[in-house]
Structure 1
Amino acid sequence: MAFEGLAERLQNTIKKMTGKGKVSEQDVKEMAREVRLALLEADVNFKVVKDFIKKIKERAVGQEVMNSLTPGQQIIKIVKEELTDLMGGEQSKIAVSERPPTVIMMVGLQGAGKTTTTGKLANLLRKKHNRKPLLVAADVYRPAAINQLETIGKQLNLPVFSKGTDANPVDIANDAIAHAKEEHYDYVLIDTAGRLHTDENLMTELREIKENVDPAEILLVVDSMTGQDAVNVAESFDEQLAVSGVILTKLDNDNRGGAALSIRAVTQKPIKYAGMGEKLDELEVFHPERMASRILGMGDVLSLIEKAQENVDEKKAKELEEKMRSATFTFDDFLDQMEQVKSMGPLEDLLGMIPGANKMKGLKNAQIDEKQLVYVEAIIHSMTKKEREDPSIMNASRKKRIAKGAGRPVSEVNRLLKQFEEMKKMMKQMSGMQKGKKGKKKKGLNLPFM
């Protein structure tokens, strides 16, 4: 999960302040020292840390905290606001040209995930914004890059404009834009060449492409796991090209998080998107405020709702709700619900979006073994249709047969059946409670096995 190490340190530090009825300057100094160490350990730029701590100390010993009835909560508020500001304050939206197509140059070093990210961004533009994107293979020095982009295009059912490895990248870009105008594409995403390090040849070529195509966006793709190196790369590209925004890859694996917290402050360029996994649909719009909430253990309800709206079938959700109310929920419905929740992403990440989940008994530091879900599916698939619809018919021989078919012990079958019955009882009780509230119905998603 993103920022895991940093998040744990910050949350533990701030937790010490929340129980205090009064906060002294010494308390603030000690907290600031802990926060400073946490940020430096996360590989955040030293100057950025210094400025950040200075702002927090100034605000934390001010009137808003010292005269507050809940000083601990006020300090959390201050840290959240300053973290949000550090990462850019507000979401930075992608540009849209008045006359289509909108041209986006994707730049970055080899190994940062630039080609894959180009495909991910095109997919997101089509899915979220209902746009018609064209991918352009302009990295002629690495045949594998062209093949990779074409493979990604096939997987996503998106068109790829390519002229092979013998063409000039500037000509490829110009021809791609002419083709996009003829075919009425909304966006042209140019996957440019990268190197293992920045050099003059690379920058000269990128400047030539920029001068010829006049892109609306120059998005720099950087690997967040490289920490301070990511910031240095961003500064170097920005000096030469004046990049308009940054896309951070591998943010899901980054226990330090230094790049995300430093890049915006050092370069003054907004982080526009974040790669949260290897799959082609795991690119997220970067929301500084939501990320600050996640880091401080406050959850991210808005992102959770958006994920649900994108991945959960509304009609099925309504049918499921009716079945829960009438207690006719079956194992088939359970499987269906599992599939929908799995499509929203790793369960660990989803739990991180629920406010207070990190403090709940049994969920704190929980390592969710998604293999267990595979075992549950195997057990349910080993049941007959009649058994899935009416588990009450289960007897010892049926359980033994199901366990054998799933390759799991009988004890796991018994445990699943018990949990399923308890869940159905709980649903029935909740349904009764909702009916008692003058017909008021609580809106939301039912995620029974989370």
Structure 2
Amino acid sequence: MLVFPRPDAPLALSVDASDVGIGGVLQQLVDNTWQPLAFFSRRLQHAETKYSTFSRELLAAYCAVKHFRYMLEGSTFTLFTDHKPLSHALLAKPGKHSPREAHHLDFISQFTADIKYIRGKENVVADALSRMHIDAIQAIDEIDLHQITIDQRDDEELNRLRHSENLTFKQVPVPCSNETIWTTSYHLAANGMIEHLHRQLKAAIRAHSDPNRWTEYLPFILLGIRSTIKADIGFTPAEMIYGTTLTLPGQMVAPTTPTRMPDPTSYTSRVREYLAKPFNVAPRTQNTRTHVPKDIQSWTHVFVRNDGGTARLQTPYSGPFKVLKRYSKFFVIDIDGRRDSVSVDRLKKAILDDDLARKRTQNTAVQNGNCDSPVITTSTKSGRLVQRPHRFAVYTQ
């Protein structure tokens, strides 16, 4: 018999595989006794029956962990198997297993690395689940319909439901008899438990902004349904299954009690007045400073910066190009025989060979004492007066 899970109890997952199927049982240890929490089993497909013994045992462990993932994720548990090579599979050298087996081992290692071997006679439950297969279901013919009609007449709960407005009953004649049995009529819009749950799910999904992404909202919707107290029984569905309430996301954060609760009426009126006022946003002041060289009006040739998408090894500037006209914001330059207006922000001074030769001639004259330029006396940042030598007179002008 299944038991309620206990958060403080150690968990174990026992798995086994046979020639026809795989099985597993999730258990918890309470008072030195393993108690079953849930079972898992399925038949092997035709291709899976051709697997080796190791592959089938590994497939059983992989499918069982994947089936009980909602309970094993974030928990510490032990994986028991009666196939001893599987207990050392995670310690094998890389390349020993096939890609399928490596994928299964990788998935199992994300949940646990504690794989232990137990003898086959101690793995009875998982072994039985792996060998169960049902080819057909036979109906039971020994049904006493006459006794059912007698029990329905004396059933107080059934008589009370027959007079309620939520359910509609009708009489069904018993075969080979003059008696009838009361049963609910089949109606898709009836207030049955399944139909009621479906309507609740659909209403919750339609309440979201994008119902097409209902798979993302479904876990939160089911959490809300399972945590809602039923009016007729006074308990939540989670309490009926697990014996305790679920921890909601809001309970993980400590609540803060405001010192002063605002009046809902005045708060709504203040928000309405605030939104009714026009928002006057002043223009943002531009504090960007641009640097313009002082001798920009004397430039004869310039380089042009290459903006936009450039090739990987393209130079950042093109040129030099001759300046035709100068304006305060842009220059008119000659680019390969074509007149073009370019902003001064993209220009860079080009020093030609003639300018370098002229500057070398001036420097030589200064060094030989042939320069008639007077010596310039300048002041430093600290305020001291400095008299430059003759050879630096050209650079201080």
> Normalising to structure 1: TM-score of the pair?
0.19
Highest RCO, 1 vs 2 (Cα 8 Å, sep ≥ 6) = 1
* Structure with greater proportional helix content: 1
> Normalising to structure 2: TM-score of the pair?
0.21
* Structure with greater proportional strand content: 2
